[in-house]
Structures are given as C-alpha cells and as structure tokens.
Amino acid sequence: MKLSRYFLLTVFAILFTACNQDKKADTPVESEANIERLKGLKSNENSGNIASQRSTALSILNHRLKNDPQSYAIIEADVWEYEFVFDGEMSKQGEYAGVWIDFKPDFTYEYGKNATVNGSGRYNYHFERGELLMIDNDPKVKPQEWTVKNAGDAMVLVGTQTYRDNSVQMKLIRQPDSFRQ
C-alpha cells in the first residue's frame, strides 16, 4: 500500500513538472514589441490633446524646478530596469529584460534597451508627495505622472489620473550604471 502511494506521488510530481516546461525564450521581435508597448503608454491621446497636456506639464515642471530644485538619490542613483508592467494584463516574467530608464541629477532621463538609447526627457520628483512627473523630448509623446513607491532597490510606479495613466503600474529594479552597456 505504501509503495503504491509513493508511486502515485512520483507520477503526479513528474506530470506536474512536465506540464510546466512549456516556457519559450524571449525573441528580438517580442523585445521590440515591449518597448513599443511602453511607448504606447505614453502616446495614447490625440495630438491636439497631447500638445495641451505637454504645455501644462512643462509649466508645472518649470515651476517645480524653479521653486524646489532638489535632486534625490532615491530616484537618480543607478539605472532602473523594468521588471513587470501591468496595463490591463500583467507582463510575463523576463519580458522586459534589458529595458531600462536612467534618471540624471540634472532632472533629465534617458530610456532604452541594453546599450541602445530610445529616447529622453525631463522629470521632477516631488519627495513629499512621492510624485514623479515625466515629459518626453518627443512632442508626440504625452506627459506622465506617477506615484512612486520605493523600497530600496525596487520601485513601483503607479499611474495617476492626471494624464490618464491610472490603469498602469510598473515595477522597476535598481541596476548598476554599467547595466546599460
């Protein structure tokens, strides 16, 4: 009787692990689609509305930088790699491997994949409110505002209603500056 229990347990364990072996590697086409997905989060409005939003966001950004030109290491130290993105559905683990954003002490940022820079912009992090305002240098891209949840080497960005990003959340992991090469 004990032998049959062990046999059944072994068979179930083998079947369970065999069913979970259906993983496939991330292809370059999927990686490019991920970068396009992130860009799509930034430009899902019509161009007239984007211009208006950018104008308002730029005046807010300039006001904040003039009145409180504080730079915070909690944001700018090292490079942040995207680990997960939730926009109606959760991204697969490893789907954003190598996709990064790098905040600079001069209130600019760059983003890209591996050694390739795909874009840049300006930002402001308001420490007391935990808000991150980002304005891409590309005039076709809408501004973004995030509530920042920091936990050492991990950061979660939760979209706000201001620019209709409230359905989006991202988890980023701190990587050394050499990560971009």
Domains and CATH numbers, the chain: 26-180 (2.40.128.280)
Q: How many percent of the chain have pLDDT more than 70?
A: 73
Nearest to 169 by CA among 146, 142, 150, 153: 146
Kindly report the number of other CB atoms within 10 A of residue 134's CB atom.
25
For residue 99, give the nearest of 85, 120, 116, 114 by alpha carbon. Answer: 114
Mean pLDDT of the chain: 81
Give the pLDDT of residue 23: 47
- Between CA 165 and CA 4 the distance in angstroms is 56
Whether pTM exceeds 0.85? no
Interval 133-160 mean pLDDT: 92
User: What is the C-alpha to C-alpha distance for residues 90 and 3, in angstroms, rounded to an integer?
Assistant: 43
Q: What DSSP character marks residue 107?
A: S
Residue 123 forms beta bridges with which residues? Answer: 134
Query: What 3-state DSSP class applies to 55?
Result: helix
More confident residue, 67 or 40: 67
pLDDT digits (tens, 9 = 90+) for 54-109: 999 999 989 988 888 877 878 888 899 999 998 888 888 888 999 999 999 999 99
Q: Which amino acid is present at 49?
A: N
pLDDT tens for each residue of 17-38: 655 544 444 455 455 555 555 5
- Name the percent of the chain in helix, strand, coil, to the closest 5: 35, 35, 35
Q: Which of 2-6, 30-34, 114-118, 155-159 has the lowest mean pLDDT?
A: 30-34
